[in-house]
Amino acid sequence: MARLIRNSLMKALILIFFASVATATGDAPFIVAHKKASLTRLKSGSERVSVSIDIYNQGFSTAYDVSLLDDSWPQDMFDIVSGNTSRSWERLDAGGLLSHSFELEAKKQGMFYGAPAVITFRIPTKAALQEAYSTPILPLDVLAERPPEKKFDWAKRLLAKYGSQISVISIVVLFIYLILTPSKSSAAKASKKKR
Amino acid sequence: MAIKILRVFFIGLLLLQFPLFQVVRCQSEIEADVEGSELGIVREDVQDFVGGNFKPAPGVETICLFPKNSAKVVPAGEKTELLVGMENVGQSPLNIIAIEASVHLPFDHRMLVQNLTAQVFDNASVPPSTQATFPYIFAVSKFLQPGTFDLVGTVVYEINQSPYQSTFYNGTIEVVEAGGFVSVESVFLVTLGISLVVLLGLWIHGQFKRISQKTKAAPKVEVGTGTTDASMDEWLQGTAYNQSSSKSKKKK
């Protein structure tokens, strides 16, 4: 009887331990923000920077008053073309995703090292505003001197990408064609034999 | 006699080679290919930290996320990105030194498949009571077989000049073959399949024709006996048989 009680007590303790370990990671939101910046050169020669920021909530509870602020683009180097560098949402549920993007036009030439964007949010258990940083971006070579593309570069690129597939398909099609269509010399030989 | 000698000679040669025979064994190759990318300038003392085994710091939480890739699909030979979220619950700022990862076999964690290039950070820090995200771009070897593998990712950081290390991911990834649907092998395989089906169809068609020809040819046999009439004509002239055969000729 005592042994039974001891066994059940052990099991209960183990259960409680595991339960506590599972909840030990907390029930707060965990904001993971992904910032991406890409350069596009327009025909007119000006360069545009498209910035997109994805905010994921990998935690276990909702984040309220999520506000994104990206001050890493100084006014003397970039002009805002479309969108806004800051945005706010009411809430971000656990497992949810928020996206924001904007476009800038580059004014000055040179290497640009961007800082991460700042995301602030509130959680019910704490009064202070919580902060989270996004991923940093790779250095951007703004308005770099690009060597002019040689005449048939685009053809070379297409060939490199699809060359093997095109050659294989052409070999197979040629082979099928050769088998299906009888040649003139063989037809003449057949008719001669019949005579 | 010569043939007998030759036979003995060849049998002897075969017997001699027996101890030299070796069964061809397959050796699983572990690729030493390492790919990845680096972000920024490298610290001088990074080599002391990368590769060492440190304990995780108590006030630090890590999380791993494959952006827009919940199935954790990794094309072999192509860049895959994952995000490492760090939360600094402690009181002092945290300096990230490097993120490194390695690929293992799923059923035996000690079998290392590939060590992925560590990404070192020069000036990455997480202030106290904040969360920060860091990217880690890696590429597994192009020749890695598609399948499930174990990826172990660790982040090395320091708090107050003492190094720590946390494992942010210790789970499975799906390695798939990079490349589109149309490839050299797929085109050949599809053509071979179609040709085999066509050949089968032709053979069945031939069989049908043969069977149908057999049933049609039976009545024709009787017509064949008509050709022997020519040899019988001379000595049958004037008889009743000759008259009936000439009638049948006229009909033709």
Domain CATH for A96: 2.60.40.10
Q: Is there a domain that residue A4 lies in?
A: no
Q: Which helix (H) or strand (E) holds A82?
A: strand A78-82
Looking at the DSSP assignment, which residues form a beta bridge with residue B131?
Answer: A132, B87
Contact A133 B130 (CB under 8 A): yes
Whether A74 and A55 map to the same domain: the answer is yes
Q: Using an 8 Å Cβ cutoff, are B150 and B172 in contact?
A: yes
Q: How many domains does chain A have?
A: 2
What pLDDT was estimated at residue A22?
Answer: 41
Q: Domain for residue A65, yes or no?
A: yes
Regarding whether A76 and A159 lie in a shared domain, the answer is no
- Answer whether A169 sits within 8 Å of B182, measured CB to CB: yes
Q: For chain B, list residues whose CB is within 8 angstroms of any CB belonging to chain A.
A: 39-40, 61, 63, 65, 67, 83, 85, 87, 124, 126-127, 129-135, 182-184, 187-188, 191
Domain ranges, residue A163: 149-178
Q: Is the pLDDT assigned to residue A79 strictly greater than 70?
A: yes
Residues of chain B with pLDDT under 50: 26-41
Per-residue pLDDT tens for A99-123? 999 999 998 888 888 889 999 999 9
Q: Per residue in B69-106, pLDDT tens?
A: 889 999 998 999 999 999 998 889 999 999 999 999 98
Say what the pLDDT of residue B32 is.
33
* Interface predicted TM-score (ipTM) of this complex, two decimals: 0.71
**What would be the CATH architecture of the domain defined by B23-180?**
Sandwich (2.60)
* C-alpha distance from B58 to closest chain A C-alpha (Å): 12
By the 8 A CB rule, do A30 and B85 touch? Answer: yes
Same domain, yes or no: A34 and A110: yes
